[in-house]
């Protein structure tokens, strides 16, 4: 890509696309939103790295705490990967336990211990196991089925007092979008609390995306630790982890759990994040929900009219169209989708000037910059692409329509 503006991107050949990748989630205001551009320009004039805290960093921490009260203390890092890596280290230190439960198809960044049965690119590329990850590094990772509380309970039965934490994407986004089943997150909260284990919400994707206070506000769950990234940096490199004060005080220098970063709390990333969060009021989330529901409807209707089995999973402005009759509730059912058909659709959409995430196992994102003109372009592309898909597969005539 050569440049971006609002909901649009241009490639190096000058072709324009409607952007539904949003840099994989961070660009909730679209490309180059005025307030973020302004904040970055002002910060460039003041300097971009000090190796010491800045006022803007403290303000961002306060904003995060205000919107996610479960985050009593927060540490800024440089990526979502660093956030999950540091949060699991802290969980192990605080509980004196080694094992971590994660879910199949969930992606928590590329730290060794969390790559087991990972989603996102690992799922897209079909990478078997995790070459380069030693048995020692991954041996304490337990993989359970998303939305299946019984598997988590069985893990606790099998390894009582050995599981430091359960880490979960409260809305899965890296096997494609999969919402939590009713009672699933509540169950995880109850089981971890009963078992003296910690609940880590990986809200790197959902944080400030699905609601002003993230998935923990949407589903009314209080995790022990939360990981953030993506939206919190408005498209600049950032991550954060935080939670209960008694836990966070164990992180160095106030406690013994070491974690550091040369560029953590980087002033450019921090002001971009703050300027982004400042725009995200209730009206912004209403707009994102409205645009998301229209996109969902258009795809569902066009697919039905074309006789193509598609299941649209959506939470707010995160959406995946699975080429499957559905329902898609976990990694197994996600993998049952027709990825070849998805690939054909992806290319038809690209030809029609819409840039979707190039994988069945990713979330597409809308931004507040996706205005009437952008949505009209999207609707037309969706209709045309499914029409072409039905002609190319002959599914319409086979269905006797």
Q: Decide: is 202 part of the binding site for ligand PLP (CB under 6 A).
A: yes
Largest CA distance in the chain: 70
Q: In the complex, what is the shortest distance from the CB of residue 208 to ligand PLP, in angstroms, rounded to a whole number?
A: 13
Q: Quick one: which segment of 106-114, 159-167, 352-360, 379-387 binds ligand PLP (CB under 6 A)?
A: 106-114
| Min separation Cβ 172 and ligand PLP, Å | 8
Give the one residue of 109, 170, 214, 316 binding ligand PLP; rule: CB under 6 A: 109
CA distances to 6, 171, 297, 357, 376 from 379, rounded to whole Å, are 18, 26, 10, 17, 5
Shortest distance (Å) from residue 175 CB to ligand PLP: 11
By beta-carbon proximity to ligand PLP, the closer residue of 308 and 319 is: 319
Instruction: List the interface residues with ligand PLP, window 139-178 (CB under 6 A).
Output: 169, 173-174
Burial 45-67 (b: 16+ CB within 10 A, else e): eeeeeeeeebebbeebbebbeeb
CA dist 149 and 145 (Å) reads: 8
Considering beta carbons, is residue 238 or 302 the nearer one to ligand PLP?
Answer: 238
216 near ligand PLP, judged by CB under 6 A: no
List Cα–Cα distances, 36 to 4, 28, 240, 283, in angstroms: 14, 11, 19, 18
- Judged by CB under 6 A, does residue 99 bind ligand PLP? no
Q: Is 324 in the site for ligand PLP (CB under 6 A)?
A: no
117 binds ligand PLP (CB under 6 A): no
Residue closest to 377 by CA, chosen among 3, 2, 1, 8: 8
Q: Which is nearer to ligand PLP, 205 or 366 (CB)?
A: 205
Tokens coding 350 = 């690209």
In the complex, least distance from residue 110 CB atom to ligand PLP, rounded to whole angstroms? 7
Dist CA 322 CA 336 (whole Å): 9
Closest residue to ligand PLP, judged by C-beta, is: 80
Please identify which of the residues 202, 285, 330, 335 carries the catalytic annotation: 202
Q: Contact region for ligand PLP (CB under 6 A) — 54-62, 73-81, 212-220, 383-391?
A: 73-81
Could you tell me the smallest distance in angstroms from the CB atom of residue 259 to ligand PLP? 15
Catalytic residue among 219, 224, 230, 285: 230
In this structure, is the dihedral angle defined by the CA atoms of residues 355, 77, 229 and 34, taken in order, positive or negative? negative
Nearest one of 235, 236, 171, 222 to 192, comparing CA atoms: 222
Quick one: tokens of 21?
Answer: 């990748």
Out of 4, 7, 80, 223, point to the residue binding ligand PLP (CB under 6 A).
80
Taking contact as CB under 6 A, which single stretch among the options 4-12, 94-102, 200-208, 315-323 is the one that binds ligand PLP? Answer: 200-208
Q: Does 214 bind ligand PLP (CB under 6 A)?
A: no
Cα–chain center distance at 347: 24
* Helices H / strands E in the chain, number of each: 15, 14
Name the 3-class secondary structure at 312. strand
Q: Quick check: is 230 catalytic?
A: yes
Which of 149, 175, 204, 280 touches ligand PLP by CB under 6 A?
A: 204
Has 13 been annotated as catalytic?
A: no
- Interface with ligand PLP includes 84 (CB under 6 A)? yes
Phi, psi dihedral angles at 27 (to 5 degrees): -85, 65
> Is-catalytic flag, 112?
no
Long-range contacts of 178-183 (CB under 8 A, 24+ apart): 178/105, 178/146, 178/147, 178/313, 178/328, 178/329, 178/330, 178/334, 179/313, 179/315, 180/147, 180/219, 181/147, 181/329, 183/149
226 binds ligand PLP (CB under 6 A): no
- Smaller CB distance to ligand PLP: residue 176 or 239? 239
CB of 107 to ligand PLP, least distance (A): 5
Length of the chain: 401
When the beta carbons of 81 and 147 are compared against ligand PLP, the nearer one is: 81
Cβ 240 to ligand PLP shortest distance, Å: 11
Q: For residue 195, what are its two tokens?
A: 């078992």
Q: What radius of gyration do the chain's Cα atoms show?
A: 21
Q: Which residues contact ligand PLP by CB under 6 A? A: 79-81, 84, 107-109, 169, 173-174, 202, 204-205, 229, 239
Catalytic residues: 107, 202, 230
């Amino acid at each position: 890509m050569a440049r971006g503006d609002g909901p649009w991107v241009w490639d190096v050949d000058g072709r324009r696309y409607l952007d539904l990748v949003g840099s994989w989630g961070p660009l909730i205001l679209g490309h180059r939103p005025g307030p973020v551009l302004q904040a970055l320009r002002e910060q460039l004039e003041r300097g971009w790295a000090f190796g010491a805290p800045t006022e803007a960093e403290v303000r961002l921490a306060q904003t995060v705490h205000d919107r996610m009260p479960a985050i009593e203390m927060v540490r800024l890092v440089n990526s979502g990967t660093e956030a999950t890596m540091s949060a699991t280290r802290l969980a192990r230190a605080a509980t004196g336990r080694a094992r971590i439960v994660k879910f199949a198809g969930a992606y928590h960044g590329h730290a060794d211990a969390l790559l087991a049965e990972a989603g996102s690119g690992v799922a897209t590329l079909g990478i078997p196991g995790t070459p380069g990850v030693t048995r020692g590094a991954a041996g304490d990772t337990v993989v359970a089925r998303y939305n299946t509380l019984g598997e988590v309970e069985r893990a606790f039965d099998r390894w009582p007092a050995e599981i430091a934490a359960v880490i979960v994407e409260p809305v899965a986004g890296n096997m494609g979008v999969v919402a939590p089943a009713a009672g699933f997150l509540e169950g995880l909260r109850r089981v971890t609390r009963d078992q003296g284990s910690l609940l880590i919400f990986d809200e790197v994707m959902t944080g400030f995306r699905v609601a002003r206070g993230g998935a923990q506000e949407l589903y009314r769950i209080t995790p022990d630790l939360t990981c953030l990234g993506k939206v919190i940096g408005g498209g600049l490199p950032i991550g954060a982890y935080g939670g209960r004060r008694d836990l966070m005080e164990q992180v160095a220098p106030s406690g013994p759990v070491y974690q550091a970063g040369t560029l953590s709390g980087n002033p450019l990333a921090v002001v971009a994040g703050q300027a982004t969060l400042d725009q995200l009021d209730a009206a912004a989330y209403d707009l994102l929900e409205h645009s998301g529901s229209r996109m969902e409807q258009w795809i569902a209707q066009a697919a039905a009219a074309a006789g193509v089995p598609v299941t649209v999973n959506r939470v707010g402005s995160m959406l995946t169209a699975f080429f499957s009759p559905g329902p898609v509730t976990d990694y197994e059912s996600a993998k049952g989708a027709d990825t070849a058909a998805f690939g054909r659709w992806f290319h038809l959409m690209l030809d029609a000037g819409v840039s979707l995430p190039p994988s069945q196992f990713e979330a597409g994102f809308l931004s507040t910059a996706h205005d009437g003109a952008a949505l009209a372009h999207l609707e037309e592309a969706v209709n045309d692409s499914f029409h072409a898909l039905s002609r190319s597969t002959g599914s319409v005539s086979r269905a006797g329509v």
